[in-house]
Amino acid sequence: MVVARRAACGRARGARAADLTTAHAESGAFDGADAECAEKRMPSMRVARGDQGTSGVEPTGDVDENSATMATMATTKDKKQKKEKKKMKTKKDKKKIKKMKTKKKRDAEDSMENDGEWLPAQHEDFTDDAVRDAVEESDVDDEIDSENVSNRLARWRNVKVGQELGARRAALADALRQAIQSVAPTKIHPHQRAAAMLLVERFCSGSPGTLFVMDCGLGKTHTMLLVAGALMTCKVRVVLASENLLASECKRVFSELWPGIDPMELNVIVSGHHAIHKTNAAEAFAQREREDAIFILDEASRYSDESGAMHEAIGESVASGYQPFRMLVTATPFTSNFTKLSNLLSLTGIVGDDERDEFKEQLMCAARTFVNVVKNVRDVHNVSATELADFCAELTVGRRALEDAQPSLVDALVTELAVRVRKDISVLTIPITQPSSFWTQLIATASTQCARQVLDVVTKCELSDTFALRVTRELELEPPRGECMDASVNAIIHLICTMATEAVVVYVPSDLASGAWYVWTRLIAVMGPGKCAIIDQDTSQDERRRIIASFDEPVDKREYNVLFATTETSGFGINLPTVDNAIFLTSSWTSATNAQATHRNVRAFSNVVGPPRVKRLVLVMFVNECGSVALSRFSRAAIRGKVGAALFPPLLPMDAACNLPLLATTETPLTVVKRNAIAQLFQDNRVGVSEGQVSYSRFLRELTKLAAGSESSVEFLFHDGDSGRAHSQPRQSKTNKKSKKNKKRATRTPGGGLQFKTLHAQNDAERAVLAGIATRHATPTMTPEVVAQNAAQAARIKLGIERAQSALDRGETWLPSTSRGFYFFYPKNTSFDAPVRRMMITASSLSGTTFFPKRPVQQNAFMRTGVEFEATALKHIQKKYGFDMVNGVDKWTRALPSDPTVLAATLDGLTTQGIIIEVKFVHNFMDVLTPAGATKKYNNYYAQVQAQLHVFELSLAMLVFYSIDAETGDMFSCEYWIHRDDAWLDRMMPKFDAALDAQRKQHNFDPSSL
């Protein structure tokens, strides 16, 4: 119907054009400006006008003759072009076609610029008639494609496998349907069974493959494994390519659905990203004699790179004519551009290896028509049929296919999802405080000195004034100014803390991950690393599973309160239905990535029993009247989401941002001209994106006022190399170059301590944390009563040390059990065989492998360095935080007041406010700057600090990791606040008692001698 309607429209346009030509000829209108205007319009409408010069003279011949001649010439010309196009198969000919198209496109653009009245208005709403007119105008393309436009992709429709293979598959139809129906309704949802039936129908129809699209959280895995089991019962070999993190989950689900089939018979290969053909994939994909097979590619959108290993592996397996059925499973087939979509569609087997270039070319032509229709439509549901949408619908088992097969089922499902998927979305808008002149200078300098990293630089500087300060130093620019540095980071941390009581996951785009880790270092200074976890590309599979499982525990028993995860790594293998709070630290560049991360929390069928859970989602956006990279990310994701929703309609409620028009902020505003234009739009349309938390609907209403003009480009939808992607080429400051020269001359401590190195950040994550640790962390908030208690206890400790020192000077001696008169202080003794060390547990032993020393401690280079720099480190912390210190505390050991013969501790430092300072020298300081390294170091010394807090009866301690730059001599330190866990000692006492009993029995020791 669509093809017929378009053909009719084409004939009608041709007839109208011919009548118009005749009318002008009769009235003598081909002179002056009218003739020039008519001449410009007529070629764009594909109506031949006969022999005519460039001066605009009247066509030769009679009027009626001219009309008939034009129609005949147009038909003849079309036939000739079709024949010529069939002959153009060599690369040389294709280059000619490309040049001809480029020239014609340029001429058409010039024509449209001079004839703007023929273009639809940029800001008007597209009614059905307007959309249809836009399709017709877009279909009028260059002369090289003058055949029926709807036939561009027609040759790849209804492609079938060989006749013999098709007959064998058709014979399995009834058996496959029965197998699917045999699975109990309690194991599968109706929409999953319906989708499985459609997939089986595609297989039996002789199609080479299909794209299976279903929203995240609606059971794609169950559906594809339902089909896989049915095929295996009919002796069809199944090969499932899955990510390593999902492989075990697939086998578990398969066992639940098909208990009668050994899950080991399901051939699951770990696909990975780059080396699939180096694993067992080559053998799995290889053809076996007279065998039918199906390749299931899970998370297929990850294989949209034509040069990737998946294309290579499948290409090698089918080179000899092998025709396995290919099922591409994904929730987001359109990720970033049409190049990737064409690569993905070609994996279905409808395109031969020798046709890929031509297929991509034709799909791009159809895509441009499609985008012209979609980009300014205010409601994606009202987009009229286009060639590309029809082509994708025929190739896809998704919502459209389900609606055609079982409309009532889809209606019921959509209604149910609208109730079950409840999201409370708001936007935290944070104004960018630096003036426009700062950003203009920053962009201009960065464009010159590190052109490939302009977006990265500006994005990080928008996030944090500390980042901006570091970047301006590297680029030798005027530093940022402001009364409250890092106010944006403080606002983010405050938001996280308010949501952390019930657990919250913070999603961060990968290219902003280093900024997230900076926020993380500031956050754990308040909450402690023990409450925060991170999942990124470096997190191991087992650790990833352990972290995720911890969030399934009740709220009061969870190990973590906050999870940081990049949107890309959290896009698969992570399900967090029990976490009801999520924060997006700005949008990703693609709507597909945002959706994947969102639906890891919003699991529609994870809580079937009971009322639906309301998910609270907060989007953090940095805004400025001149635009921002954050707004550009959101705008670009919105238009990509609109394109994706129009091609592959979702079942879940659609993101309201998909109905935004193309925005002026879609182009990254990194030039003065663009920034001024956006600022003018803000002013003219009175855009009111105010500071604070606003509703999502209000935020979108304000952005609608920033609708783009006709000059805005959407080329990012067609090609790779998105300008929004961060490049890996590192920025290097002048000091980095010096450090390379001085690396061989690393410094050794005067006392023979460890040789320490230049502190050089290897990547942006380390650079981010180095920037974060340069500033002091705010002291955690405590009640006035607790603050007063700590200060009073510090005063008693100071008095006890003074009394003990005075008694020691008089020659008095005492034991831990008799030290009560000196506030339980006794002289520090480091001898390994001293009774107080061999027969008591010391806090420092809790960071080692054994409670008691077995031989004299050999002071290695690490220990010597720590001893040498301990006093310097304490002075560094004293200056950084403005502390007043209690003198001499490091020379005395204190016994646990409740039982002086069990536990003892010695401090490195103590402030007069009652804050314990424990300093640790770190040789490879960069290890501390990574999330995993920081957590590991923190956990190593957590028990030691807890023991100190209990022994000294204080509430707060600071664990400090420090090192010294070999080049500059500057000291770097990273501090973590640790609160006393009142239940820690009670948990540890049984373990302490058992260890002491065993030790004292072994040495026949009398505890009373202490």
Higher-pLDDT residue of 413, 58: 413
What is the three-class DSSP state of 162?
Answer: coil
Count CA within 13 A, CB hemisphere, residue 915.
23
> What's the mean pLDDT in 684-695?
82
Q: Is the pLDDT of residue 133 over 70?
A: no
Write down the pLDDT at residue 835. 75
In this structure, the strands spanning 422-431 and 614-623 are parallel
Range from 402-416, 485-499, 603-617 carrying the lowest mean pLDDT:
603-617
**Residue type for position 238:** V
Return the exposure string of 241-260: e unless at least 16 CB atoms fall within 10 Å of the residue's CB, then b: bbbeebbeebbebbeebbee
Residue whose tokens read 């995993």: 932
Q: Tens digit of pLDDT for each residue in 607-648? A: 445 677 788 999 999 988 888 899 999 999 999 999 999 999
Query: What is the number of helices (H) and of strands (E) in the chain?
Result: 35, 23
- Read off the tokens for 502: 């019930």
What is the three-class DSSP state of 85?
Answer: helix
Higher-pLDDT residue of 124, 672: 672
Neighbours of 560 (CB within 10 A): 19
- Helix H, strand E, coil C: the string for 956-986 is EEEEEEEEECCCCCCEEEEEEEEECCCCHHH
**Residue type for position 504:** V
Range from 190-194, 680-684, 1003-1007 carrying the lowest mean pLDDT:
1003-1007
What is the percent of the chain with per-residue pLDDT over 90, rounded to a whole number?
A: 20
Q: What is the mean pLDDT of the chain?
A: 75
Range from 149-153, 207-211, 597-601, 606-610 carrying the lowest mean pLDDT:
606-610
Q: Tens digit of pLDDT for each residue in 716-731? A: 898 765 444 433 333 3
Range from 29-33, 537-541, 752-756 carrying the lowest mean pLDDT:
29-33
Residue whose tokens read 């998909």: 658
Q: What φ, ψ does residue 535 adopt, rounded to 5°?
A: -125, 115
Question: How far apart, in whole angstroms, are the C-alpha atoms of residue 548 and residue 552?
Answer: 7
Q: How would residue 487 be classed by pLDDT, with cut points 50, 70 and 90?
A: confident
Higher-pLDDT residue of 112, 861: 861
Q: How would residue 252 be classed by pLDDT, with cut points 50, 70 and 90?
A: confident
Q: Tens digit of pLDDT for each residue in 926-978? A: 666 665 666 777 888 889 999 999 999 999 999 988 887 766 677 888 888 88
Higher-pLDDT residue of 65, 375: 375
**What is the maximum alpha-carbon separation in the chain?**
132
Q: Is the pLDDT of residue 579 over 60?
A: yes
Q: Is the pTM of this model over 0.75?
A: no
Q: Is the pLDDT of residue 87 over 50?
A: no
Q: Is the pLDDT of residue 147 over 60?
A: no
Write down the pLDDT at residue 65. 31
> What's the mean pLDDT in 749-778?
55
Range from 21-25, 91-95, 788-792 that averages highest in pLDDT: 788-792
> What's the mean pLDDT in 690-695?
82
Write down the pLDDT at residue 927. 63
Higher-pLDDT residue of 955, 488: 955
Q: Is the pLDDT of residue 481 over 70?
A: yes
Write down the pLDDT at residue 954. 94
Question: How far apart, in whole angstroms, are the C-alpha atoms of residue 217 and residue 431?
Answer: 35
Write down the pLDDT at residue 215. 87
Higher-pLDDT residue of 613, 582: 582
Burial of 39 (C-beta count, 10 Å sphere; 0-12/13-18/19+): middle
Question: Residues with Cβ < 8 Å from 238, sequence gap 6 or more?
Answer: 228, 231, 232, 266, 267, 293, 294, 296
Higher-pLDDT residue of 96, 251: 251
Write down the pLDDT at residue 77. 46
> What's the mean pLDDT in 455-473?
82
Q: Is the pLDDT of residue 44 over 50?
A: no
